[in-house]
Amino acid sequence: MSPTDIILLLDSSVRFAVPLMLAALAGLYSERSGIVDIGLEGKMLGGAFAAAATAAVTGSVWLGLAAAMGVSVVMSMIHALASINFRGNQIISGVALNFLAAGFTVFLGHAWFRRGGTTPNLRPDERFSNIELPFAAEIGQVPIVGEIYQQLLSGHSIIVYFAFLMVPVTAFVLYRTRFGLRLRAVGENPKALDTAGISVALLRYRALVVTGLLCGVAGAFLSTAQGANFSENMTSGRGFIALAALIFAKWRPWQAMWTCLLFGVLSASQIRLQGVEFPMIGEVPVQAIQALPYILTVVLLAGFIGRANPPKAIGQPYIKER
């Protein structure tokens, strides 16, 4: 591959990695607080539909983004109510949200737009447009370095830059703020936090609000930036891959970013490798290449990454002693 081909591959990898990165960071807030969040997929799907539907009706992509965040937060609050107040099984609650989103988005799409569960195609002014960094065209004439600036760093939507910004922001919040300290503490030993007079339930609710906001942004990216409408099950398991990336990263933000980029490279590679003949192997079936990201997910979750110790109180409803 030429340097230009590698840069284009990395550019595609970034676009594939962004929704994974946002979902992984969303799951980090939830699981660090002690709440298992299998429902990342459903929140992203609900957000994607809300963003595309609202943008199609109002013509405003920003209202679409707000709707996506609102719907995702509502779904996150349902999960919080079931997990924190009712002390229900957190995995079942998350799976229920996934089923709810998968069915309800298609039902509403068909009822509102009569397009078989999809939303109308968005015009360019109803989507997030790509941002050209200063002097991208001029610097792009420089070999390699200029191409990296023009192709890889420039020309992305605002959500892409937001996703990468959220990595250091999350790291700072998690390790340098009072909220982050309490968030990590409630995931490890909620009883100690409760003894200190801090509300365990309120802290977990706040964490799940952040989870909902980030999942909403991830969903909006899929339908209004990367794509131009909502289609059935358009998240395609990204929520589960993000969860696998979070486990691989051992619930740390910087490692989660690099893991999502790895998944992004695999997703981008599967497109470029289709139809390519390999030495001694020949042409690999398209289905095998398309399965690469999911094969890596299974490999990671099978334990080939070393022992990943989750927060000690994760998945355990907290019952306050009277």
What is the full DSSP assignment across 134-160?
TTHHHHTTSTTHHHIIIIIISSB-HHH
**Tokens 């390790």 belong to which residue?**
175
264 contacts: CB under 8 Å, gap ≥ 6: 12, 13, 14, 15, 16, 17, 18, 20
Which pLDDT score is estimated for 322? Answer: 59
Handedness of CA 78, 83, 87, 93 (dihedral sign): positive
Residue 312 lies in a domain: no
Distances (CA, A) of 183 to 65, 123, 204, 244: 27, 41, 8, 21
Residue 93 lies in a domain: yes
Which pLDDT score is estimated for 234? Answer: 94
Domain count within the chain: 1
Residue 140 lies in a domain: yes
Give the DSSP H/E element, type plus range, for residue 168: helix 158-176
Parallel, antiparallel or unpaired: strands 277-278 and 282-283: antiparallel
Residue 183 lies in a domain: yes
What are the pLDDT digits (tens) for 105-157? 999 999 999 888 899 999 999 999 999 999 888 888 888 888 899 888 999 99
Task: For the beta carbon of residue 285, count every other beta carbon within 10 angstroms.
Answer: 9
**Tokens 């355990």 belong to which residue?**
316
Residue 241 lies in a domain: no
Query: How far is residue 50 CA from its own chain's centroid?
Result: 16
pLDDT of residue 190 exceeding 80, the answer is: yes
What are the pLDDT digits (tens) for 193-232? 988 889 999 999 999 999 999 999 999 999 999 999 999 9
pTM of the model: 0.93
- Quote the Cα angle for 250-300-285, to 5°: 145
Residue 290 lies in a domain: no
Picking from 85-89, 136-140, 251-255, which range would have the lowest pLDDT averaged per residue?
136-140
**CB 44, CB 218: distance < 8 Å:** yes
Which pLDDT score is estimated for 137? Answer: 85
Give residue 255's pLDDT band: very low, low, confident or very high (50, 70, 90): very high
Which pLDDT score is estimated for 317? Answer: 84
pLDDT of residue 91 exceeding 90, the answer is: yes
Which pLDDT score is estimated for 301? Answer: 63
Question: What DSSP line would sit under 98-120, residue for residue?
Answer: HHHHHHHHHHHHHHHH-STTPPP
Query: How far is residue 41 CA from its own chain's centroid?
Result: 8
Domain housing 120: 3-236
Q: Is 151 exposed, middle or buried (0-12, 13-18, 19+ CB in 10 A)?
A: middle
Section 162-167 average pLDDT = 97
Phi and psi (nearest 5°) for 283?
-80, 125
- More confident call, 300 vs 35: 35
**CB 242, CB 40: distance < 8 Å:** yes
DSSP-derived 3-state class of residue 263:
helix
Residue 291 lies in a domain: no
Handedness of CA 78, 80, 82, 85 (dihedral sign): negative
Phi/psi class of residue 164: alpha, beta or left (left: φ > 0; alpha: ψ in -120 to 50)? alpha
